[in-house]
Structure 1
Amino acid sequence: MTEIKQFLSEIDNDTRKSDAHILLTILEEVSGYKPYLTGSIIGFGQYHYQYESGREGDSPVIAFSPRKQNLVVYIMPGFNEFESLLKNLGKYKLGKSCLYINKLSDLNLDVFKEISRLSVQYMQQNYQCKT
C-alpha cells in the first residue's frame, strides 16, 4: 500500500489526486480485493485469460489509472451488460473496456459502484479470480 500511496502522491492535479484516492477506496470496497500497483495501473484481484490464438496472461479483475488527461477505469467484461446503467452514470467516454472520466463529480457514484460491483461479479462467475 505504501507503493500506491507514493504513486498517488506524485499526481500533479489536485482534483485527480483526490479522485484517485476516492476510487482506490471505492474499488477496494466494491471488489473485496486489496489494491496493487502494476506500472501506472492500480489493480484489484487477478484473473488468467487465454485467447483462442493461444496467447494468455494475467490481468486485474478491475483496475484504474489516474492518467494526466483523465481517470481510466478498466471494466474487464466491457459495457454491453451495463447499457441501462450507463444512461444514468453521468458524463464519461467509453472504450472497449475503458471508462474515461474527467472527474468523479461528473458521475453518479451510486451507479458507478453498481457497474463496478456487477463487473467484478461477472468476472468471478466467468473466470477463476484470485487476490
Structure 2
Amino acid sequence: MGELKTRPTTASVSGFLAQQADARRADCEAVLRMMEAATGERAEMWGAAIVGFGRFAYVDSAKKTREWPLVGFSPRKNDLTLYLMPGFDGCAESLAKLGRHKTGKSCLYLKRLADVDAGVLRELIERSVQAMAPQRIRR
C-alpha cells in the first residue's frame, strides 16, 4: 500500500466552503461549528474535499500507522457526508430520532441539515469523538 491520497493540507477551509452553493455552505458552516465544539479542534482540509477535525491513529492492513480525522465532513454532489468513527453500532435509537439520512460503515449521509434534528446530530458527533478518545492524537 502506497501513501494515502487523503492527507492534511494547508488549503483554506473557508476558501473551500466559499465554493459551495449558499444552502450547502450554510449546512457546512453549521456542521463545522458542531465539530469544532465537540473536538475543541480547528478545521483543516484533508485532501481536496474533506474538512477534518483532530486526528486519530490506526494501523492499516499493511501494518503501517496512519492518521485520519477524528471527525469530518465533505459536501458531495448528492449529500453532505459526515465521517463519524467507529460507525453506528449502538446508535439505533439516536438514528431513529435523527430524521432523514442514510448511513454507510462510518459515513452519515444528509441531503439537508433542515431534514434532521440538530440536537441528535450533535450527540452523534460527540459520541464519535468520545469513542475515538483512546486513539486520539493530541497536538
State TM-score, norm by structure 2: 0.86
Aligned to 2:31: 23
Q: Percent identity?
A: 34
Q: Which one of 79, 82, 86 corresponds to residue 77 of structure 1?
A: 86
Distance 1:50 1:109, change over 3 A: same
For 1:108-119, list aligned pairs within 5 A: 108-119=117-128
For 1:45-124, list aligned pairs within 5 A: 45-51=54-60, 53-124=62-133
2:77 counterpart SS class: coil
State TM-score, norm by structure 1: 0.91
Aligned to 1:129: 137
Shift of 1:38: 1.1
Shift of 1:128: 3.4
**Structure 2 CA distance for aligned equivalents of residues 53 and 84 of structure 1:** 36
Shift of 1:2: 7.9
Offset from partner CA, 1:55-83 (integer Å, 9 cap, x none): 43110000000112110000011000211
**Structure 2 CA distance for aligned equivalents of residues 54 and 97 of structure 1:** 21
**Normalized per residue, which structure has more helix?**
1
AA matched with 1:54: K
- Structure 2: unaligned runs, 5 residues or longer: 1-9
Distance 1:69 1:32, change over 3 A: same
Q: When the two structures are aligned, how many residues end up with a matched partner?
A: 129
AA matched with 2:98: L
